[in-house]
Structure 1
Amino acid sequence: MPVEYPQISIGGLTRADLRSALVAAGVETNPSAETLLASEVFDHKAAETIHPVALTVGELGLTSGARLSQILSTAPGHGLALCPLMAAPYLRLAMLNQETAQDSIMSSGRVPSGSVTIASTPPCPEIDEYPTGFYLRTIDGISWLRGYHCTDEYIWPPTAHFMFQFPPCVDSADNIGLRAERSHQRILHRVP
């Protein structure tokens, strides 16, 4: 079942202030996340509000799994929008109480357990070595903001969780026909 979260403010911080906020919150990053955080999209941007919602690939109707391009292109048909790339660290800060993953395997060529991938347009799809995007994961009680690499050949399983947003003109999941579990806490609940 999709999980709706309270609206959060993204942007408005300088790159240095954003990094300081991540460090102060005890958020760990990997080298791919550091590469993405160095991107110009994190140059001082005006604050905006997003209304996040998490759901699985299967809940998008892609019950056999799908490529990233299919996942991202299917979302608008469900009344969802992609998150801006810059939303990821702000989502990480808003969801520090994410449930700890069942294992601590960091990289294995598959979707990590307990992860929530931020549904955003890959920043440099023409450069294979450049990270594709971010995901959130908590490992042994430590909150991580991790970057990942993925070609469009990879098939994401139907159980993979993605974080989208409601378009600004849509108030909630109820308005688009999704039966969302309302969560007014800043805790990421695992969707079964």
Structure 2
Amino acid sequence: MHVDNEEVYPNRLVTTRTVEIGGLTKAQLIQKLKQSDIRMNEYAERLLTDDRFTTSDTRYSLQTVEVTVGDLGFRDGATTDQIYQRAAEFGLALCPLELGPYIRLQYADQPEGDSGDGVQRNQAPSGSITLASRRLTDDDDFPKGFYLRRMNDALWLRGYRADHLHVWNPYDHFIFVKPEPRS
């Protein structure tokens, strides 16, 4: 596959954010989401309440990078593993799953996506941003991670399911972490 390096990350303009995470217990984090009127689907609730979902006692900052699948050089789409591998080649890392609720709380000006009336099943919804994170389990029936969405002026933290064969579209957005430079 030929990739024109001028058309892929890091040579493309991408969105970066600094996100503060940690310092809350799981129960406190869930309460903060509710107090902030963040809506969640059943998959997000399953992720948050699972014993394998953990939170950090210590507050810290992460630099995130939002890229499309196309920004990573996949003009025809790619599987999750292909996306994660290419991002790693560009020096991007997977996000801790805990980042999902925190970035949702802090990214309140996400543009509106469409209402989903015309969305096909098994595709990322219009305007959504998927958090690139390690799966808690290989069980295909368990949610794989979080995505962010604004729909009908409501902020959503949603969980999703996708098996290893799922092909993401080139315009689907992902958030990765840009590791701190080592000194």
TM-score band, normalised by shorter chain: 0.7 to 0.9
Give the Cα separation in 1 of the matches to 2:99 and 2:24: 12
The TM-score, its normalising length taken from structure 1, stands at: 0.82
The TM-score, its normalising length taken from structure 2, stands at: 0.86
- 1:96 Cα offset (Å): 1.4
Runs of 4+ in 1 over 6 A off after TM superposition: none
Task: Tell me the secondary structure at the aligned position of residue 113 of structure 1.
Answer: coil
Q: Which runs of 5+ in 2 are unaligned?
A: 1-12
2:46 is aligned with 1:35 = yes
- 1:137 Cα offset (Å): 0.2
Q: Which has the higher mean CA deviation after the structures are superposed, 71-80 or 51-60?
A: 71-80
Aligned to 1:86: 98
Give the Cα separation in 1 of the matches to 2:56 and 2:73: 37
- 1:84 Cα offset (Å): 0.6
Aligned pairs for 1:12-51 within 5 A: 12-39=23-50, 40-43=52-55, 45-51=57-63
Task: Tell me the secondary structure at the aligned position of residue 34 of structure 1.
Answer: helix
Cα distance per residue 1:105-135 (max 9 Å; x no partner): 488221110000001111112x121101100
Letter in 1 for 2:42: P
2:134 is aligned with 1:115 = no
* Cα contact 1:116–1:137 (8 A) shared by 2: yes
2:161 is aligned with 1:159 = no
- Relative distance call for 1:89 and 1:151 in structure 2 (3 A) is same
Pick 1 or 2: higher relative contact order, CA cutoff 8 A, min separation 6: 1
Give the Cα separation in 2 of the matches to 1:43 and 1:76: 24
Percentage of pairs with the same residue? 36
Task: Tell me the secondary structure at the aligned position of residue 134 of structure 2.
Answer: coil
Letter in 2 for 1:119: A
Aligned to 1:188: none
Aligned to 1:176: none
Give the Cα separation in 2 of the matches to 1:162 and 1:123: 18
**In angstroms, what is the RMSD of aligned CA positions?**
1.6
* Cα contact 2:55–2:98 (8 A) shared by 1: no
What number of residue pairs does the alignment pair up?
168
* Cα contact 1:15–1:44 (8 A) shared by 2: no
Aligned to 1:173: none
- 1:48 Cα offset (Å): 2.4
Match for 2:19 among 4, 8, 13?
8
- 1:33 Cα offset (Å): 0.3
